[in-house]
């Protein structure tokens, strides 16, 4: 592991090319996706033709590949210690299910008062709490893997229970109380449960079985020293693959409606930054330490865009403004949270915990 005394060039030298130039690869993936969406006729329709619970099947595959390696790295025998940290659990619940939806509601109405479709789409994004890509950001920032897995599972449970009710409250009840325009959200318990089962349950089960069977047959030393380094690159490759497809799927709309995309992007930019900063400040105030503070911040800032897009498409249609707002969500989240990964690592070095560490070097 890299220490705080290591020089920057030593740190960079220990990172794989995939890790070292991650912002570059993400930028290339975005440009490639936009170019494909604009230049290949019918590509978006082809990608969207086969769906897995409202999400393009190729994108779903990319998400599952992306999530498997971090969940295979979790030491599931340590989850009990995380569960006993009531400060972490309570902080996550407040950030995700009280402050997060309220903040997105406020930002959507303040910045998009004249664009009801986009406003509704953003509110749906704010209600869909993190269960997928946040695992990647947490791992890249050297957060607590066990805490991330537990908080994501907790969010999934609350998502199944609370999503439809919160959607009714923030789109119908609260606007009515405030004398604002109301809208409705038609989403079923089954739709949410299946989304959680597919995008969290499948990779979580695969990760748990990999850890359990791998350690039982080969031992922990082999599992963490040989197996995990082999599968680690697939997390970032899955991320890049997913980004290319997301941009390709909506490339024409994004490039043909740049002003609308910019309007949607502004509240999202404010939202991700405020939620991450608030999570980090709360974790520091609670004395959680770097790893769990980082995990709290990223799980507060991340959103379940798979569910948000699926709900927007199912309720309002694939060409609706609500669906476009849902798609723009991850397009803004990706570069913003990548930047916050580097902010986290800089704070880690300042705190003396250690320097930047490759995701492939961590067991």
Which pLDDT value is given to residue 263?
Answer: 94
- At 353, the pLDDT band (50, 70, 90 cuts) reads low
Q: How many CA atoms lie within 13 A of 13 on its CB side?
A: 5
Beta carbons within 8 Å of 124's beta carbon, 6+ residues apart: 167, 185, 308, 311, 312, 322, 325, 326
* pLDDT higher than threshold 80 for residue 319: no
- The domain limits of the chain are 18-351
Q: In the CATH hierarchy, which fold is given to the domain comprising 18-351?
A: Na+/H+ antiporter like fold (1.20.1530)
Average pLDDT over residues 333-349: 91
Rounded CA-CA distance 30/247 in Å is 6
| Integer angstrom CA distances of residue 251 from 40, 57, 244, 245, 327 | 10, 18, 10, 9, 10
Rounded CA-CA distance 85/151 in Å is 11
Rounded CA-CA distance 336/332 in Å is 6
Rounded CA-CA distance 290/280 in Å is 9
- Mean pLDDT across the chain: 84
Each residue's pLDDT tens digit, 75-124? 888 888 788 889 999 999 999 999 999 999 999 999 999 999 999 999 99
Closest CA to 159 of 315, 25, 340, 304: 304
CA angle 101, 124, 183 (to 5 degrees): 105
pTM: 0.80
| Integer angstrom CA distances of residue 88 from 25, 34, 158, 289, 337 | 33, 39, 16, 11, 21
Average pLDDT over residues 202-207: 89
Measure the CA dihedral 142/226/65/267, to 10°: 10
Each residue's pLDDT tens digit, 224-247? 999 999 998 898 888 888 888 877
* pLDDT higher than threshold 60 for residue 15: no
| Cα of 152 vs its chain's centroid, Å | 10
Stated as kind and residue range, the H or E segment containing 342 is helix 321-351
Rounded CA-CA distance 128/302 in Å is 9
Each residue's pLDDT tens digit, 31-80? 898 888 888 877 877 877 777 666 678 888 888 888 898 889 888 888 88
């Amino acid at each position: 592991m890299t220490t705080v005394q290591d020089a920057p060039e030593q740190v960079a030298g220990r990172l794989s090319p995939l890790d070292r130039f991650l912002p570059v690869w993400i930028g290339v993936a975005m440009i490639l996706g936009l170019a494909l969406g604009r230049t290949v006729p019918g590509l978006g329709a082809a990608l969207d033709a086969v769906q897995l619970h409202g999400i393009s099947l190729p994108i779903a595959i990319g998400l599952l590949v992306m999530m498997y390696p971090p969940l295979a790295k979790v030491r599931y025998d340590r989850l009990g210690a995380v569960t006993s940290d009531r400060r972490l659990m309570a902080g996550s619940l407040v950030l995700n299910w009280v402050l997060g939806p309220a903040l997105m509601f406020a930002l959507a109405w303040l910045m998009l008062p004249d664009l009801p479709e986009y406003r509704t789409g953003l509110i749906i994004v704010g209600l869909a709490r993190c269960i997928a890509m946040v695992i990647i950001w947490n791992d890249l920032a050297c957060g607590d893997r066990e805490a991330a897995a537990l908080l994501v599972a907790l969010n999934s449970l609350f998502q199944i229970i609370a999503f439809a009710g919160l959607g009714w409250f923030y789109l119908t009840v609260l606007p009515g109380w405030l004398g604002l325009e109301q809208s409705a959200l038609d989403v079923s318990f089954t739709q949410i449960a299946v989304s959680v089962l597919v995008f969290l349950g499948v990779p979580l089960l695969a990760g748990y079985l990999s850890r359990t069977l791998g350690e039982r047959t080969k031992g922990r030393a082999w599992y963490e020293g040989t197996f995990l380094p082999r599968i680690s690159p697939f997390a970032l490759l899955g991320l890049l693959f997913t980004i290319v497809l997301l941009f390709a799927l909506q490339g024409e709309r994004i490039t043909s409606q740049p002003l609308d995309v910019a309007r949607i992007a502004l509240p999202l930019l404010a939202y991700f930054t405020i939620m991450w900063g608030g999570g980090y400040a709360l974790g520091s105030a609670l004395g959680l330490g770097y790893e769990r503070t980082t995990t709290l911040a990223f799980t507060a800032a991340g959103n379940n865009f798979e569910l948000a897009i699926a709900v927007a498409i199912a309720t309002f249609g694939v060409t609706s403004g609500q669906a476009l707002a849902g798609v723009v969500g991850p397009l803004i989240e990706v570069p913003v949270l990548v930047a916050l990964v580097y902010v986290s690592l800089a704070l880690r070095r300042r705190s003396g915990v250690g320097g930047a560490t490759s995701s492939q070097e961590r067991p």
